[in-house]
Amino acid sequence: AGFEFEVCVSGVDESYGERENPEDIAEELARRKAQAVGETWEGEEALILGADTVVALEEGAGWGILGKPGDAAEAQRMLQAISGTRHAVVTGVCVVRSSDGALFQGSERTWVRMREILPEEIDAYVASEIGRASCRERV
């Protein structure tokens, strides 16, 4: 589309409290990110896109939400939890206009059916460069 863009880390708190609806969580986190970065563009005209993705497992009448793992052990537990399941992957987006704070937000849910993951596959993934990147301390 011809847009020039810059990637900015928002540094916002990604906790979400007692909310259980994965769409609400993903949208709120995306909004926090977009608004935090938007504040750094005060006085300039820019569109800021914030996004966040959560994985949600159906648990009875509610949801179990999997955020970013804090360490390798937590990543292993999360991978074991989604192994062999049908779970939701929800991405929230928020666009903020820096000049006046106007925003649009929404989310999309995708159902993913995961095959059984062997324990050695989980270990290899967590030990890999990709797995280590997903297990870093939060910024």
Residue whose C-alpha is closest to residue 32's, from 11, 18, 8: 11
Task: Please confirm, yes or no, whether 52 is among the known catalytic residues.
Answer: yes
Angle of helix 72-82 relative to helix 119-127, nearest 10 degrees, comes to 140
d(CA 82, CA 63): 13
Residues in CB range of 19: below 8 A, 6 or more apart:
25, 28
- The owner of tokens 């999360």 is 78
Catalytic residue, candidates 52, 71, 100, 123: 52
- The catalytic site residues sit at 52
